[in-house]
Structure 1
């Protein structure tokens, strides 16, 4: 109930979660929740085998925020549709971890733990920033997360029915089930060391490396210090001297951003800005372009003061060629494990399906087309028969050959993009697929993108290893 005695909404404006969504402290809470999720053996196994969070962290962040907006927004139809999409996605994530233990993203206890970490981390972020939630607010927030799990189709009981029962459940999982998994260690200690620059900062490797070198260890220390003490002790996670003070200071400092004017800290606006290419026609890009010269001069100064290991400059776009090793690392190896296997191609299908917001039949056709392409690649390139393709195998096996299965992928993708079925892709359909690559000034005046032209361009990108303004952000953007 709200202050006037009315029933508070569970989703959308007026809900407790909606008040938190654009809270800048939520960034720290989400990272903490992700670490606790990755420490669960089943989730950790699924992340290592299937997730793109290492190679494409910014894309993963954008997609996660979009999904949460859909699930917690006011439109019930959008929420039900997103829940069905997430269920299809999770149903495809199953396998065996390196210890031989099975994992299944549809397991009820796994899904409950994911929701539990989000709720508990929201409560913790308020406590650590000196503004603990009142009991009534906490119960309201817990009811919203229970409703979220119910929308996903999970039966009652997978999360405890009451808040006191939840805290007993949470303590038990932390003390008995969580482990120091490889996925958790990557998030804490390796992700920020190799975090690629967002598109906004492409071309400024020195500035990005300098900022990352400072911020990465600080974020890692803050996150470790915020984890439950029993788990830190059991997992052997080192806590640096002064880390608790640093953590509380970080939550307090980030929380001050809430005092900024409305609209300055909108989550979708910030992620959209990070994803913005400086040479885009977006009006904000003109300001960014004006800043680049100053930032480049600052980067030159940093290099003089404190030389850093050189990072490769991004290669120019516009059809220029790149090596097979570059294409393998930037496009094909979606999970960033150094090999090409089915989870990499499944990640491509997942990204394309998300961009186009496909329903089940179209999504299944796209996944099936990518599965056929994977079998074709295995037959042609897996020379040692280990079930995956190395960068060396790829480079040595004439990857520029476009087989029937890849042509089929292009055809299915064209059909999925051509929503009105007129055998051409118009401006709106083009934008739905390519997003940042579409030039808005010419929207509605561009000639139709025909099936043959689309397939030719897609095959040229996927086999000829050519950089293109449109296709690079589609599958290669971090």
Structure 2
């Protein structure tokens, strides 16, 4: 709940909101984004100095690529130290608020110690001191000033509050139970939005014109207090890393816990089938016209597959079109999974940039700088050009850590670790030669084959 609140406050900052709406995958791939964010936070606050420095360097390289022009032609730059300071400020203030609302207010000395640790995160990132105040009393004045003078009702904030949770896809754990997930989401999504709005600073709620439902404050305080009671549960039950990994677990993975999940899914599907069997079907309207000859079943199925591939794989940011930020998001996800250093990461980004230029030349028929689903469907074979082959070759090189021109089972696990569904130690193992890897990658990225590990790698939510 603190993360949701902090994200809303971050998105209300004009520069951060513009960067999020233009470049982030939080709409189309929220669970992947949550997992990656949590991993990054673990690294940044861990005890390993080398790991912290390495993660800070990776984040700086990522932020350096996020710049552009947002609404009102206002430029944004993710390396802006004042915007980065606000991200840290929102996380710290939301953490303190979470403890206060859950009935565990922090002592002053503990807050000062916690604030010093948040300041250390900015220092590790290499930002100059001064963008966040040096003392806690000064911080509260700074926070109130930013809330009063800089935060706005941005598009990114509205998406988080009023769209994200209404359309939140199921995590891998519940991907086989769409009815159960849709029912729970329909009940919980409005409540999450109400609680998130009610927890924001009152002055900002008024200025941004955010509606507040009757009883919202009571609901919000009750929700935080109920979450606070989880501290009495066994620690292993509420460990964030365990919970996130559990949500990311697919029932058909090779994790031992997956067998229990698969059995549970099977029982729930049978119960759902029985319910549908004993429930009368609603009356169906009679067809009014014959299906046009042009809309053959095979053509309809192909169109549906094309639209699904465009939406789930190519449109990483979820804005309905294919743009450079979508391919940059793919490069970012692959670089993060493989934990690439600067030279290899730059090679991968450059390969994706070359592919984007090739796609624009081949598919952007109206010259608007982006590729629509219709433009993609009309010229999909052009996806598998020389530049995409280069992407596949670079990805093979950076995955093949030992340089033996063969991706072994361990290297495969590194690339596909959150969705890998085969046992590498099994018959023959899961390995690739260069030609086999390039062939399978091209088949996937051109939309011709959706049964490879690349599908959950880039399409998972």
Q: What is the TM-score when the length of structure 2 is the normalising length?
A: 0.92
**Aligned counterpart, 2:260:** 287
Q: 1:374 aligns with which of 356, 359, 368?
A: 356
Distance (Å, rounded) in 2 between the aligned partners of 1:78 and 1:346: 24
Q: 2:239 aligns with which of 255, 258, 266?
A: 266
Q: How many angstroms does 1:305 deviate by? A: 8.0
Residues 186/283 of structure 1: CA separation in 2 closer, same or farther (3 Å cut): same
Task: Work out the number of aligned pairs and report it.
Answer: 440
Distance (Å, rounded) in 1 between the aligned partners of 2:402 and 2:208: 54
Distance (Å, rounded) in 2 between the aligned partners of 1:357 and 1:332: 22
Deviations 1:362-381 (A, max 9, x none): 00000000000000000000
Deviations 1:83-131 (A, max 9, x none): 0000000000000012110001100100000000000000000111111
Write out aligned runs for 1:398-437 (5 A): 398-399=380-381, 401-435=383-417, 436-437=419-420
Q: How many angstroms does 1:397 deviate by? A: 1.1
SS at match of 2:76: strand
**Aligned counterpart, 1:47:** 20
Answer whether contact 2:68 2:75 (CA < 8 A) is retained: yes
Write out aligned runs for 1:7-18 (5 A): none
Distance (Å, rounded) in 1 between the aligned partners of 2:309 and 2:431: 29
SS at match of 1:53: coil
Deviations 1:206-265 (A, max 9, x none): 111100001101111111010000000000111111111111111111122222212222
Write out aligned runs for 1:24-423 (5 A): 28-300=1-273, 323-399=305-381, 401-423=383-405
Segments of 5+ residues of structure 2 without an aligned counterpart are 283-301
SS at match of 1:95: strand
**Aligned counterpart, 1:452:** 435
Residues 268/156 of structure 1: CA separation in 2 closer, same or farther (3 Å cut): same
Residues 210/459 of structure 1: CA separation in 2 closer, same or farther (3 Å cut): same
Deviations 1:18-63 (A, max 9, x none): xxxxxxxxxx000000000000000000001000000000000000
SS at match of 2:68: strand
SS at match of 2:143: helix
Answer whether contact 1:130 1:252 (CA < 8 A) is retained: yes
Of the structure 1 ranges 456-465 and 38-47, higher mean CA displacement relative to structure 2 is found in 456-465
Distance (Å, rounded) in 1 between the aligned partners of 2:149 and 2:281: 46
Distance (Å, rounded) in 1 between the aligned partners of 2:280 and 2:387: 50
Q: How many angstroms does 1:402 deviate by? A: 1.3
Distance (Å, rounded) in 2 between the aligned partners of 1:266 and 1:440: 27
Distance (Å, rounded) in 2 between the aligned partners of 1:276 and 1:297: 21
Distance (Å, rounded) in 2 between the aligned partners of 1:425 and 1:220: 45
SS at match of 1:442: coil
Distance (Å, rounded) in 1 between the aligned partners of 2:47 and 2:78: 26
Distance (Å, rounded) in 1 between the aligned partners of 2:201 and 2:383: 52
Deviations 1:385-418 (A, max 9, x none): 0000000000011336511000000000000000
Distance (Å, rounded) in 2 between the aligned partners of 1:462 and 1:249: 47
Cα RMSD (Å) = 1.9
Distance (Å, rounded) in 1 between the aligned partners of 2:310 and 2:21: 19
